[in-house]
Amino acid sequence: MEKFAPVKRSEDGQPVRYLIVDDSVFARKNLARMVESFGGLVVGEAGDGVSAISEYERLTPDIVLMDITMPQMEGIESAEKIVRDHPNARIVMVSSVGYQENIVAALQRGARHFVQKPVKPEVLYEVIKYVMRDDGVTTRGAGAGA
């Protein structure tokens, strides 16, 4: 797990701060382990879409890893609400292949990227790098954590 070069915030060289949203505790731990191996810091976890929103507001993480199917509020709706209030939020949808349409919907509503379950660390790593070093229209967002 130590093979990944740490991804830091270019702004201040601090670890990238993550919010992990999934109704499965196991999935959350699994993702947390992965992002920590990328040199990231898990600042919060949420088990449903509603608390994801409040946690986002409280923590303003750099990246949200968001599951699709969750109780109370689905990932798409949660992502949509977060992005509406925080256009610079970087949300990466995490879902199994069967939910492709939901992924498309989430992307249309402002999610930045997606990874498919089961998550492969090397894929997630590349995705994180891509989402973080995003410089096109999202350059403004690079320093959001500062």
Partner 1 sequence: MTAPPDDRMTELRQLFFETAGELVQKLNDEAMQLEKSPGDAETARSLRRTVHTLKGDAAACGFRELSELCHEFEDVLGNTAAAASVPELALRAADVFAAVLEAYRKGTKLPSIQALRMDIAHLAHPAPSGTEPAKKKKASAKTSPWSEYDQLAITRAAADGKQVHHVAVQVDPQCGMPIAARQMIQLALSGLGEVLALYPLEGSLGPGDRIEAALASEKPVEQIRAKCSIPSIALNVRVKPLRALAPSYRLPTVSVPDSAGKNKEEDAAPAGAHVTASDATPAGEQSAAAAMPGGPDNVLRVDSERIDNVLNLVGELILAKSMFQQTLLEFGQRFPKDVLRGKFSDAMAFQGRVLNDLQHSVMKIRMVPVDQLFRRFPRIVRDVARQCGKEVDLLVKGGQTDLDKSILDAIAEPLTHMIRNAVGHGIETTEERVRAGKRPQGTLRLSAYHQGNHVVIELSDDGAGIDPDKVRQRALSQGLLTSEQAARLTETETLDLIMQPGFSTAEEITELSGRGVGLDVVHSVLGHLKGTVQIETALGRGTTFRLRLPLTMAIIRALLFCVEGRLYALPLNAVAEIARAFEADIHQVEHYEVLQLRNDVLPLLRLGAKPPTLPETARRKVFVLVIHSGERKFGVIVDEMEGEEELVIKALDDQSITTDLVSGASILGNGKVVLILNMIALMDRFTRGRVAATNTQMSGLLSSVAPVESMASAGGMATPDTRAHCTVGGRA
Binding site for partner 1 (CB under 8 A): 97, 100-101, 103-104, 107-108, 112-116, 123, 126-127, 129-130, 136-138
The answer to whether residues 36 and 42 touch, using CB atoms and an 8 Å cutoff, is yes
Between 39 and 121, name the residue whose CB sits nearer to partner 1: 121
**Cβ 131 to partner 1 shortest distance, Å:** 9
Strand runs (DSSP E) across the chain, as ranges? Answer: 17-21, 41-46, 63-67, 91-95, 113-116
**Cβ 59 to partner 1 shortest distance, Å:** 25
**Cβ 143 to partner 1 shortest distance, Å:** 17
Between 45 and 132, name the residue whose CB sits nearer to partner 1: 132
Between 23 and 126, name the residue whose CB sits nearer to partner 1: 126
Between 9 and 113, name the residue whose CB sits nearer to partner 1: 113
**Cβ 128 to partner 1 shortest distance, Å:** 9
Between 28 and 113, name the residue whose CB sits nearer to partner 1: 113
* Distant-in-sequence contacts of 130-138, Cβ < 8 A, 24+ apart: 131/63, 131/90, 131/92, 132/7, 132/9, 132/10, 132/16, 132/62, 132/63, 132/90, 133/10, 134/90, 138/88, 138/90, 138/112
**Cβ 122 to partner 1 shortest distance, Å:** 9
